[in-house]
Amino acid sequence: LKVLAFSRFGKGHIKTCKVSPDAFLQMTFQLAYYRDQG
């Protein structure tokens, strides 16, 4: 397991894109799974 501290933008920026932070995180999990599993 690897932890990465990401500080380029936060939940405020995500909300300005009209996406909930939870939905954004779910999309990142799905993308990571897709890249890992193909």
Q: Which candidate, 23, 26, 5, 2, places its Cα nearest to that of 14?
A: 23
User: What pLDDT is stored for residue 6 in this prediction?
Assistant: 85
CA nearest to 11, candidates 27, 24, 30: 24
In order along the chain (38 residues), what is the average pLDDT of each group of 10 residues? 88 92 94 96
Nearest to 4 by CA among 28, 37, 36: 28
Query: How do the domains of the chain map onto residue ranges?
Result: 10-38
Q: In whole angstroms, what is the distance from residue 5 CA to residue 25 CA? A: 14
Cα 38 to chain centroid distance, Å, stands at 18
